[in-house]
A and B are shown apart, each in its own frame.
Chain A
Amino acid sequence: MRSELSQTGKVPDCCRAGLFSSLLPLGLFVLLCLAWPRVVQGHMFTVHWNWVPSLDLALAFRLDGLGLLFGLIITMTGFFVTLYASTYMAGYTQLGRFFVYLHGFMLAMLGIVLSDNLLLLFIFWEATTVLSFLLIGFDHDQAGARENARQALLITGGGGLFLLMGILLLKAAGFPMTFGLLAASGNLVRAHALYPAFFICILVGVMTKSGQVPFHFWLPNAMRAPTPISAFLHAATMVKAGIYLLLRLHPAMAGTPLWTGTLVLIGGGTALWGAIQAIGPCDLKRVLAYTTLMALGVLTLFAGGQTVLSLTAATTFLMVHALYKAALFLAVGSIDHQTGTRDLNRLGGLMKCMPLTALAVTGATLSMAGFPLFFGFIGKEIMYKGALAQEMFPVFATIATLVSNALMTAVAAVILITPFAGPLGGKLSLVCEVPWTMRLGPAVMGVLGVMFGIIPEWVSAHLIEPAVFAIHPDREEIRLVFFHGINLPLLLSILTLSLGALIYGFRSPLRQGLLTVLDRLWFTFPGLYQTGLDRFLTLAGRFTSIIQNGSLHIYLSVIILVMIAAVGSVWLPHLPGIAKTAPLSGPWIAAGLFNFILISTAVVVTARHRILAIGGLGGVGAGVALVFLVFGAPDIALTQLLVETLTLIFVSLILLRLPPLEKAKPPSRSRTLRNAGLASSAGLIIATLLLATLQTPLDRSLTAFFETGSMVAAHGRNIVNVILVDFRSFDTLGEITVVVLAAWAGVNLIRRAKER
């Protein structure tokens, strides 16, 4: 799909679309920046349009500190990723589609972080699920990409259903859907008998979306997607949606032992599991994916805390991670793009040929490792402070944070040293630096990682504190500062770096040990998922082969039988009460028509030649149309006649291709009898229903309404048509949609039959 070794430094022509479309995220970023100063002052921008007031669903948006922080991350990463993709994706087909998905995804993500209504948030949440499915499976001609896309969709979509259940439970319990009001009734939510149910449902949604153990495995598998997608979805945005929801619901639902305990344990477990696995793979992207799991675990852990300190740790690390992870993903993509490989064993010495990328990676990895002077250092300090002050399981939280941070340091060293240092491989000496579109993102984010590390006070006043204030009632100020003096967090930081260096030194035996253990595991969550999916598909296959066995005769028999049983069981007791005959007040010609229809039906049933049967069918149709005409419904008669004509054409097109009727084996006697029984029972039921209908007086109020309103309101004298295209036009729109879809499906079925 794309050239292995790209040698040109120039931006190819085909990517102008990407360059142009990067204006959208840039514009949104600038807009958010314009609102930024007001938000820092504590102003909250809100808009509210009614959508479905009866469901408490409104197009309500709000921009506060938390939304702003996420929004800035989303639009900034979105801009760099689009710019990057404009070069990276050159050579892929369907680029237009790619940018539409990407920007659709970005807008959905912005929708999540800006909506002020839980149901609205859920709609955007689902949109990101669907769009991420399309993006992960972008290389849809590869079976692996399709499979991983399906896995992501099933897991995050399934979690989405749980989230919906949680939201609906909240709603059923009478709580408002607007975040502000929900937060105000936080005490009632926490005291509610159903609180565990709310929490668990929402938690499952969060865990699937944000890759928490045991739903984590879709995230490394999603690395099948082209790198810009991985950078955008699986580093900076989508997986953070769960974290965002936890933070957003914090005022309404946090503060219980259930919340804190569960989140600390799950988050800590995920952080450890992700960090340990990160030293395993040789594929750089998979390494990054596991470090993302670690980050998500840590964020969940800190979202579990009640204190301002814990939330400050979460938001700070969120920023740290977004900056270095997006930069690293993009840089790894650059390496892949230029060398054709992401395998750590085959890379080396790239510093000489890709110096600028190497510089950006240095900045990002040092921030990831948490070296002093980098933003990651500040993040790590506040993390240790938060972990030590955690209300529940502080020891576990601290150890989990410490171990996973140490592992991160080691992984950062691997990412920096292995591809860039050392001697240049023979084939790799041809490699050159990527064009500026692919350098800008990692460079800017790398520089920000250093800059924020030098001016933490500014960051904390302008980004972190407004975000935390938006979700925590206490206005306790926790300033990030460069140096706190010698204290426990600082010692832990030093310990982290030394531990990291130790792990880096022993990485080969550790990797071997890890791979051996992973191989010998008798139970894995991906395995469980696969078994479950296989079993489900087998079951579905069996079920389908029973109910969809391909025999039209059986389908029709079942439909008619169900109709007879359902209507008959209700209708039978009333049968004695209805009149046995109905007076025919029509003209004499009607009687003749009825006889004609009866004779035609007999012809259809007894015909020994297809053409005769078709002729008989036409006779029935025309007879019915004439009955309508005789009884004063010219409109229906016209339509009926035309429908019958076309049906006849279609039927003859199909039937005349089948083997001639006279050569076919006549059906068995018992089958004929069974069919006759079914047909006459259905006929009898309809006939008795019609007789009963005639006994009730006709309600003409609707007719009167349309007769008077038709000309005045809709400028038409033909009531039937006025109803179709004006009074009830929405129904008609639905009907023509069905017609078109049915035709589309039919065409595809016919074509497929032709291909066989």
Chain B
Amino acid sequence: MPRATLLDPQGEAVERALHALGFGEVGRVRMGKHLMLDVQAGSREEALARAREMCDRLLANPVIEDYDLAVEGGGGRGAT
């Protein structure tokens, strides 16, 4: 997600389009990326810690982006 202080022209374009369609209740729109990773891990905490490392090294650029992480599932061959 672009950092809150930075201009997000894609989000603004979507916001204008929603208003044009009559969705006046929409406030600010921010547009980012959603990545889904299948991860083998012994626990949710381990999956989260590894994913955080991936974000910090490659998946997000802290200069221009913020990110959130969520672990879903668990079971099968390990947490996913």
Q: Do A and B come from one complex?
A: no
Binding site for B on A (CB under 8 A): none
Binding site for A on B (CB under 8 A): none
